[in-house]
Amino acid sequence: MQFQVKIKSIRQFDDGRLKRVNEMFLFTNCESFTDAENRAYKLAEEHGLRAFQVTQILPVTFDDFFSFGDGGDVYYHARVSTTTIDADTDKDKKINYNYLIEALTLDEANSKIIDFAKQNYKLKKMLKSKRKKSV
């Protein structure tokens, strides 16, 4: 199982000031909530976080994982929503997909997920038509 864990801690910056920060971590291959919590405490202690507190533990699932070998240990969560028309009721049906993307920056992650969506969800025409409507 995968768990998203939020840790609140106090960080000291280079100029000496202290600031309270919230950070999200993803723990994979956990057996339970307790396992994820134990790993979070171990991580916080290893990184020397001061006055830390585990504030949230949520199980998460991803439809796919994109690793390009260039992002190190930084990953971004992307949600792609598609809309289809239900043939029986003739109403719009929204489907969400969650992806985990390895990237160095948020812009790079956005670029990678847009390229993936264009190839797999046939969004080229939709994106072009949106641009035309906005002009």
**pLDDT tens string 69-93:** 765 677 888 888 888 887 788 888 8
Note the pLDDT of residue 50: 75
Average pLDDT over residues 24-43: 89
Q: What pTM was estimated for this model as a whole?
A: 0.63
Alpha-carbon dihedral sign for residues 29, 34, 36, 38: negative
Note the pLDDT of residue 110: 85
Complete domains list, the chain, with CATH: 1-60 (3.10.20), 62-122 (no CATH)
